[in-house]
Structure 1
Amino acid sequence: QPIVLLLQTFDIPPEQTRTPGPPLKTAAFVLDDDVHCGVCRWKVDGREINTELDPNYSFVEGNLLINNPHVINHGGVYQCIATNTFGTVVSREAKVEFAFLQNFSRKPRNMVSVREGQAVVLLCGPPPHYGEMKYSWVFNGQRSFLQQDARRFISQRTGNLYIAKVEASDAGNYTCAVRNMMTNTTVLSSPTPPKIEVRFPDTVHVSKGSSVKLECFALGNPVPSISWRRADGNPLPGKIKINHSSGILEIPYFRPEDAAVYECVAENSRGRNGARGRLVFHDVEHLHWVQTLKDAHMAIDANLQWECKAVGKPRPTYRWLKNGLPLTAQGRILVDSGTLSISRISLSDSGMYQCVAENEHGSVYASAELKVVASPPDFTRRPVRKSTLIQKGGEVVLECRPHASPKAAVSWWRGGQPLKDSERQTIMEDGTLRITNISKSDGGRYTCVARNQFGMSSSSGTLVVKEPTKIVVPPLSLDATVGQSLVLPCEVSSDSSLSPVFKWFFNGKPIDFIRQEHFEMIGGVRITNIQLKHAGKYVCMVHTEIDTVSAAADLIVRGPPGAPESLVVTDITDTTVQLSWGSGTDNHSPVTMYLVQARTPFSIGWQSVRTVPDSVPGQTTHAAVRDLNPWVDYEFRVVAINSVGVGEPSTPSKQIRTRAAVPKVAPVNVSGGGGARGELVIMWEPVPEEQQSGDDFGYVVAFRTLGSSTWIQTVLASPDASRYIYRNESIAPLSQFEVKVGVYNGVGEGPFSRVVRVLSADEGECVQRLPQNTHSTLLQQIITGHMITCFCCLTVKFTHGGKKKVLSYLILSYLNLS
């Protein structure tokens, strides 16, 4: 089958192994899209190929075709040399080798005798070959290959067959079959004599990223089991594969941490044996470029320096080629490893250059073209600017940058006279003309003349001097109060031929007059309903074709003070606390006083509280709050006030609870009367929770008959109690009693209410019971929206003459919760 080496737009692979099959297609080197191979030549082992001397070779459009390739005549290292009008480059080297597999020797092998239960090794002894091989064994001429199991193992490194424990059924004829995976050919051996167990090498060098296999097979009776481990005790990585009844250990993608001593352990009931081998990380880094070459188009007499850099292990060496031939350092040419320098380049230096980096593992090529340009001055691409506007008193720079190789000498002319350096005029090294402190007389036509050894050229432009732009009415710094409106003016004078453009900036950012509702452009800038956020620096910027001027003003906005900071509550007693805080911003108006406010679970919102001093001056940042209720949760805040208004309140303080104290508030509206015969009914209005001053709050009810000096007392432990009934059958109807109700809590006893007189119940009987579910008008006025069940008794007293006197109504009501 013919071999074809193709000239394509990618690199040649470093090695090709040929077998019968499709033609070999190997790329030669990289060609740019706009570069084509003019003449292509081929070399093998450094010798140029001559198709007349060897008719097996032929060229087809730059490609090399090898018909009927032969192992001896056509194996070797091939390289392509391509030449066109730009120069010559060479390709990477491509190695062509031939895969083969010879036949086994026909010499018969000796018979192998072994006792049942023993172990045996049948040697394959493969014939000469090249390429990847696969080993199998055939038993008694069967069509299928012998299958590996716990007793039988085939080494893919040597081809040997291992049987750990021979059984009677193993007797027969064994043939080793070797298959070349590239040529797809297979040869068979004769029977082979036995040998002993498989061991792996003591040391194996493995390169980064490659895959390594260790083989281990033991002979024995009973059949030994095989296990693997690392000698350093570390566990085997999860990526490791163990195949064929543990006989092969494979480590893919070898890394430095995989380097270690690995041990194969074989054991059965009669003992154990082991074999060790060390895997050593072989740090090989394939060559690759980190800095390559770029084409250079340079003027004659310029200096060239190219640098290429590749990395790899071992460290690469460098050599340079010009048009495919070695480039040596001489005269103007200096070669220092990966750096090439050519001083004062000439037309003869044009061509294709290549940097070659190589080490023992291969080579890489980098290519670039050097094009040396020689031309007279030319202003076609970059002429002098036709018209330049500049303000009077300003500075102008007129550029002169013709294309010329070598660099042109530049001079400037005006009115037929050459310009020379002066106090205001300077011709820079790059040919630029610089004029400072421009006056009206500097206006006119200027010409740049450029010369080199190949010719001369010129280009002209006009300088137009204009009056400078000035801000005649600048914005002024002002003070304003929140809510006011004002105008910052900005008026200019400028050359009548120019159109000034105004822009306003606030604190360095452009003002958007469309989206920002407080700003309006009316000659200057109008700010309506001024807020604190509008304080800052305002800049009016005026731009024309020739200049830009600006003026700035500061706006100070006075407003209500900011919120006080860092409010702290200390020194908590039963009725007082101490507050301290930090001053907030005064917004350009000093704080005149502070208000202190408090909030409890019983108050509606924030309420002002009494302080010491009564009015907290603006220079003070602390105050004592007094007249608080004991045993109540409080939050506090402080509000600052200045001449502009009331500021924002501070952040509320942490909630605190005042200390408990003896109650100071007695029940009010103490009354009584009514009830059944023999009862004294006493009623009062409960003390609100915020005035109970502590836990364990309750009432002390005291009463005595009128004229008695001894008080009868009873204690009610419920803070919600509002009624007490004293029952004693000996109490005469409508007896007068003196009654008072006191309070107490866990701290102590508080005051009693004032003494009031209350009558005991009168005598009478229930002469009328109203039916159930009766809704009286009075009840409907008191309780609405609920279903209630009522019992009503009318109590009367019989007087002389048999008349009835209404004493009371007793109404019992029950809420129907369903």
Structure 2
Amino acid sequence: LLFLAISAFEVQPLSTEVQEGGVARFACKITANPPATVTWEVNRTTLPLVMDRITALPTGVLQIYGVEQKDAGNYRCVATTIANRRKSTEAVLSVIPASNFKPFHKPSIIAGPQNITACLHQTVILECVATGNPKPIISWSRLDHKSIDVFNTRVLGNGNLMISDVKVQHAGVYVCRATIPGTRNFTVAMATLTVLAPPSFVEWPESLTRPRAGTARFACQAEGNPAPKISWLKNGRRIHSNGRIKMYNSKLVINQIIPEDDAIYQCMAENSQGSILSRARLTVVMSEDRPSAPYNVHAETMSSSAILLAWERPLYNSDKVIAYSVHYMKAEGLNNEEYQVVIGNDTTHYIIDDLEPASNYTFYIVAYMPLGASQMSDHVTQHTLEDVPLRAPEISLTSRSPTDILISWLPIPAKYRRGQVVLYRLSFRLSTETKIQVLELPGTSDEYLLEGLRPDSVYLVRITAATRIGWGEASLWTSHRTPKATSVKAPKSPELRLEPMNCTTIAVQWQQDSEDTATIQGYKLYYKEEGQQENGPILLDASDLEYTVSGLGEYIKYFLTVL
């Protein structure tokens, strides 16, 4: 059943004045089902598009380069479907005569590309219109420095990029650059192309044969955009985690297998673009003459990453044991992944040496015979020792006045903290001097204001964190120049509010302190992936109080700063 409909114009062309030789741009936007074809009229006559300097984009944009006096008139767009036809209001193009003197003008992008989300095989257009004198040349590149697909892209008009038959590899941040020929004067504008794609498997579950009371592990991974959600089914019915059956990340683990676990298991990956299934069989091998469980299991902490586990052989049928499996997982938190190590039957102790510092772990042992396995042993929990931090905190430096520097930092992520931070050590010096001043602060602090500094001077700052075990490595020196001593008061740093929009986009909003009387001329936004170099600055107007950062990596922690 197809409903034929067309909306009112969401965007209508606006009247404009353009100097002779300049660029005129009109835009209109309308929603229709099926999509409308947009054409243009000038003085209510169809606009001829045979001239190289006139481009009508399928998105509803009209661009006129090298405007001439004869281009003056009334312009409107016409949206047509198989059942409807709608005309926009008219916009007047006024052409101002050109003067004989044409001063140099730096390039300016008056209509840059916009962030766009597309499905596979669609066609997308990234617009880029620039002015300047001499006329700027427009070029395109990708922010990740990958080459642009020359087989599926072409330039429309004077610099618009059209990508046809969009594929996943086309996703990324595209950079439009307008350059004055023969000079280094250029400007850029960027936009993110997000490509939606249905799930596809990169790892499939494999059929398994396991003895009763053994452990079965199925792995399944899929890619797509949005990131697919993985769920598991048994004989077509959705599985829910319980004491024996656990699902974490994209794995399904069945412990202490029983005969009823013999079944077909399906991995289902789904997102807004579709779903797919992959299946595997679990065959359970029966044996009644099983050994009893290992007993007297005990653990001893060896270091910050190693625990010694020891046990006694089963009291019943221990002569039939061919191997032991050691199972361990973090004791705190929900849905933690369980790890398994299989060892021979000639030992009753094992050192697990890949653990995280300052963490509780739970262990148990299972004994195996050729066609069966014992029950689980009793569980034991043991704590690893602390260690020194593996890395220093990420620091940020700002000045509130010509004589101070505010040093702020974020907590070290748990896997690098390796215990509880009890102290921070700040070291700082003038870049022109070798004498280093040191401050120690409690582990609960997250900022410190250095005061009494020299105006218009470069200071170097670094930070070190310590657990009860000792000090970790210091951060690299970070430089910051204090403001010049003038009557102008520096504004305070705005308070940020971050909101993830999707897996690659973060919305940033900020509000200036109402009691801050300093004059704000604009903002600079910086962002960085944890442990990587900083990106920016992105220059924003004083009236801007929000910005959307897109084209980020999925499931990665980012740090953002607005000055």
TM bracket, shorter-chain basis? 0.3 to 0.5
Which has the larger Rg? 1
Q: TM-score, normalised by structure 2?
A: 0.35
Higher relative contact order, chain-length normalized (CA < 8 Å, sep 6+) = 2
